């Protein structure tokens, strides 16, 4: 038992440290996008007024404006630019949209929005029907519970889900001792917005996931779960939790990536692309 607790502690230390690593990745992606000629970019930025909170939701879009939408939702921290590779070559018949979740990137507000329902409802303006098909939602890491919440709250406006390295099991969410320190005013004041807001999301996540748990059995959408076996940030045990709590859903596919880590949007694009085609009823 002591060995198991040690492993959990190690995972959460990595989780907290990963805030910095992911922020660096996000900043690098943003800088790369900003340095490119805007006219040459295959995608463009747009904004939608959020209906349940003040401000705008920022997003990148590319592809067929009349095609079925695929909406990409990043984890914490993160931004729309993390999905840039997907928007560069959009398959025919699709429109790809990558959002800046509320509190990140160019989306409002400046502070954190820790409520999963509010995060999910921020997507509402983007949930449009095209050629008889509603959007496919893809959530990575904390984006996983966001898209699950959206499916529970707005089932009639969502076609299907892809949950990549999703953090849904509340029992696996432990607060590292350094996370409350990040909320001390002198330290919090010095942190970049993305790190500050991500820390607040993680502090609240266990409670939010406990509230989401009772709704998971109601989700009947087709779901593809993709998870790496050596994910040290969001453990593979989340897969068993999802299989248990999506218990009334007989349309779940689990893609286990042996030896793969947490950063699936960047290192497992082939598997995510295949999941999109599967849910759209196409073969690649």
Q: Under a CB-based contact definition with an 8 Å cutoff, are residues 99 and 123 in contact?
A: yes
Q: What per-residue confidence (pLDDT) applies to 284?
A: 59
Helices (H), the chain: 2-35, 84-88, 116-121, 143-153, 178-181, 185-190, 193-216, 237-245, 264-267, 269-280
CATH number, domain with residue 113: 3.40.50.1820
Distance CA 193, CA 170 (A): 25
Distance CA 147, CA 120 (A): 7
Provide φ and ψ at 139, rounded to 5°.
-120, 130
Question: Cα angle at 64 between 59 and 70, to 5 degrees?
Answer: 50
Q: What per-residue confidence (pLDDT) applies to 247?
A: 84
pLDDT along the chain (284 residues), means of 10: 35 46 46 48 93 94 97 97 96 97 98 97 97 97 98 97 98 74 62 90 96 96 98 97 93 97 97 98 78
Q: What per-residue confidence (pLDDT) applies to 87?
A: 97
Q: What per-residue confidence (pLDDT) applies to 224?
A: 98
Q: What per-residue confidence (pLDDT) applies to 190?
A: 72
Q: Under a CB-based contact definition with an 8 Å cutoff, are residues 72 and 141 in contact?
A: no
- The residue range of the domain holding 128 is 2-280
Q: Under a CB-based contact definition with an 8 Å cutoff, are residues 69 and 101 in contact?
A: no
Q: What per-residue confidence (pLDDT) applies to 51?
A: 86
What pairs with residue 73 in β-bridges?
Answer: 99, 139
Q: What per-residue confidence (pLDDT) applies to 6?
A: 35
Q: What per-residue confidence (pLDDT) applies to 180?
A: 61
Q: What per-residue confidence (pLDDT) applies to 183?
A: 58
Q: Which residues contact 59 (CB under 8 A, 6 or more apart)?
A: 45, 46, 47, 48, 80, 97, 98, 99, 100, 126
What is the tens place of the pLDDT at every residue in 20-40?
A: 444 444 444 444 444 444 456
Query: What total number of domains does the chain contain?
Result: 1
Which burial class, exposed, middle or buried, applies to 100 when counting CB atoms under 10 A from its CB (0-12, 13-18, 19+)? buried
Q: What per-residue confidence (pLDDT) applies to 280?
A: 96
């Amino acid at each position: 038992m002591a060995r198991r607790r040690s492993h959990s502690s190690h995972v959460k230390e990595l989780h907290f440290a990963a805030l910095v690593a992911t922020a660096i990745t996000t900043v690098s992606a943003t800088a790369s996008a900003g340095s490119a000629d805007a006219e040459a970019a295959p995608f463009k930025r747009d904004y939608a007024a959020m209906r349940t909170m003040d401000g705008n939701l920022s997003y990148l879009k590319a592809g067929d404006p009349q095609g079925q939408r695929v909406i990409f939702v990043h984890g914490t921290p993160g931004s729309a630019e993390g999905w840039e590779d997907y928007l560069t070559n959009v398959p025919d018949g699709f429109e790809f949209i990558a959002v800046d979740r509320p509190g990140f990137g160019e989306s409002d507000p400046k502070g954190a929005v820790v409520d999963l329902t509010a995060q999910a409802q921020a997507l509402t303006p983007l949930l449009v029907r095209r050629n008889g098909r509603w959007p496919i939602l893809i959530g990575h890491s904390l984006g996983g519970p966001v898209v699950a919440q959206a499916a529970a709250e707005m089932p009639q406006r969502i076609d299907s889900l892809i949950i990549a390295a999703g953090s849904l099991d509340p029992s696996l969410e432990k607060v590292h001792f350094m996370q409350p320190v990040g909320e001390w005013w002198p330290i919090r004041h010095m942190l970049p917005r993305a790190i500050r807001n991500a820390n607040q999301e993680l502090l609240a996540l266990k409670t939010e996931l406990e509230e989401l748990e009772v709704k998971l059995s109601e989700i009947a959408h087709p779901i593809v779960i993709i998870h790496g076996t050596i994910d040290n940030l969001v453990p593979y045990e989340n897969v068993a939790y999802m299989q248990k709590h999506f218990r009334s859903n007989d349309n779940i596919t689990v893609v286990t990536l042996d030896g793969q880590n947490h950063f699936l949007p960047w290192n497992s694009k082939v598997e995510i692309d295949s999941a999109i085609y599967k849910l759209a009823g196409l073969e690649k």
